Amino acid sequence: MAGSTEPFTDGSIITAGGQNSAHARKYTLEGLNHIRQLIDRAGVYSAGQIDGWGEAYIDADGRNNSVDTGTTTSLFYTDKYPATSNVNSAPSDTTHDPNSFTNVNNAFDENLTTYANKTVANSATQQYGLGKTFASKGIGIAVVKYYADWDNNIGNNYIKIQTYNGSTWTDVETLETLSAALGTVTDTKTIIINSTVEGVRIYFDFTGTTSQDLDARVYEISYYEPSTVEIYHTIPTGTFPATISSAIGIPLIEDWETGANIQYKLTNTGGDDSGWLDAMDTSPEVSSFTAFTAEPDTLIVKLIPKTTSPTAAYPSVRGFFINTWSD
């Protein structure tokens, strides 16, 4: 609800919209400050049902361990949840293997202990790619694990992640630049792709001036599409009263663009449901709903990308705060 932007003076009439705006501003600042506290350290809550409650995504299940990772449909990324599906698209797409890797399916089985590999001895130029191609679609995030063992190289070696536009492979990020004459390297990395493409691959570019031996391994290539997603939280027993009928939800937003939205709802096992409430259509607001008959035990946060040409992984949030009360 939008309220008047004029300041209150003696004799002013406080409209419902104005009161809502004043409450929303207060709770927004409270919520953002609480989330920032949770990012740094654990919080302390009142047992008297006079407190708000929140979560910060310092890891996949959050500072308060409230996120149900089995039900949540967003892919956790470093310190936030983005509007990116946690369903890996790679297994159902077409394998791109121009260099005949061994055990190629191991690169797409989501098992970080098995691998596809290419081993060649006594070759100065070794350039090998392995990945997937598909019909054009938006890719938000990719996860890769790789390994290389080389010797006798003079020059620079590179391991890259590349995308395909239907005719050409293009570098997205150089994962490794390796100038030592011999060595090994292995790592697991998550990369923001943030583009509409037709393929994703790992590319080993080991081009020396003398012949060398190379063992190139791909343990994992997985990638995830932008999507409306939901983050499920278990609310501790005794946090809120049983007869709540109003609430405000505050997201700490990391990535945002006009046209996106964030909604939330409260539910319980008894069947009470607040319905979807706006947390960030334009700004947080106090919302009312049919009074519950038992305290809420689940908070669901929905991240909604904008409809046309969304930026991959937008919106994203680093935490969420909720306060409720009975009217």
Backbone dihedral angles phi then psi of residue 18, each to the nearest 5 degrees: -65, -40
Same domain as 111, residue 71: no
Same domain as 271, residue 171: no
Mean pLDDT of 247-271: 95
Helix (H) or strand (E) holding 18: helix 16-40
In this structure, what CATH number is given to the domain that contains residue 194? 2.60.120.260
CB 213 within 8 A of CB 298: no
Band of residue 256 on the pLDDT scale cut at 50, 70, 90? very high
* Burial of 308 per CB tally in 10 Å (0-12, 13-18, 19+): exposed
Same domain as 241, residue 307: yes
Same domain as 236, residue 171: no
d(CA 126, CA 209): 11
Same domain as 58, residue 117: no
Backbone dihedral angles phi then psi of residue 25, each to the nearest 5 degrees: -65, -45
Q: CA-based Rg of the chain, rounded to a whole angstrom?
A: 25
Look at the chain and report how many structural domains it folds into: 2
Band of residue 121 on the pLDDT scale cut at 50, 70, 90? confident
Is 4 part of a structural domain of the chain? no
Is 282 part of a structural domain of the chain? yes
Domain boundary among 172, 205, 224: 224
Does the CA dihedral 268-269-275-277 come out positive or negative?
A: positive
Any idea which residue has 């680093």 for tokens?
Answer: 318
Is 151 part of a structural domain of the chain? yes
In this structure, what CATH number is given to the domain that contains residue 268? 2.60.120
pLDDT for position 310:
85
d(CA 216, CA 206): 10
**Amino acid making up residue 261:** N
Same domain as 117, residue 219: yes
Is 2 part of a structural domain of the chain? no
d(CA 304, CA 320): 15
pLDDT for position 11:
60
Band of residue 114 on the pLDDT scale cut at 50, 70, 90? very high
Burial call 269-300: b when 16+ CB within 10 Å, e when fewer: eeebbbeebebbeeebbbbebeebeebbbbbb
pLDDT for position 194:
85
**pLDDT value at 2 more than 50:** no
Same domain as 212, residue 125: yes
- pTM of this prediction? 0.82
d(CA 239, CA 298): 11
Same domain as 165, residue 146: yes
What secondary structure letter does DSSP report for 236? P
**Tens of pLDDT along 267-296?**
999 999 999 999 986 677 889 999 999 999
Q: What is the domain range of residue 78?
A: 16-85+227-325
Query: Which of 23-32, 50-59, 187-196 is the least confident region?
Result: 23-32
**pLDDT value at 161 more than 80:** yes
**Tens of pLDDT along 185-221?**
999 999 989 889 999 999 999 876 677 788 999 999 9
Helices (H) and strands (E) in the chain, counts: 1, 14
Is 11 part of a structural domain of the chain? no
Domain boundary among 224, 243, 262: 224
Mean of the per-residue pLDDT values for the chain?
89
d(CA 204, CA 224): 22
**pLDDT value at 301 more than 70:** yes
Is 10 part of a structural domain of the chain? no
Mean pLDDT of 65-76: 97
d(CA 291, CA 247): 11
Q: How many residues does the chain have?
A: 327
Is 50 part of a structural domain of the chain? yes
pLDDT for position 4:
46
CB 115 within 8 A of CB 202: no
Mean pLDDT of 65-72: 97
Is 8 part of a structural domain of the chain? no
Same domain as 128, residue 101: yes
**When comparing pLDDT for 126 and 133, which is higher?**
133
**To 5 degrees, how large is the angle CA 32–CA 37–CA 42?**
135
Domain boundary among 224, 256, 284: 224
**Amino acid making up residue 170:** T
Same domain as 132, residue 52: no
Closest CA to 252 of 9, 26, 32: 32
Same domain as 237, residue 161: no
Peptide bond before residue 315 is cis, with ω within 30 degrees of 0: yes
Q: What is the pairing mode between strands 316-325 and 246-255?
A: antiparallel
Same domain as 136, residue 188: yes
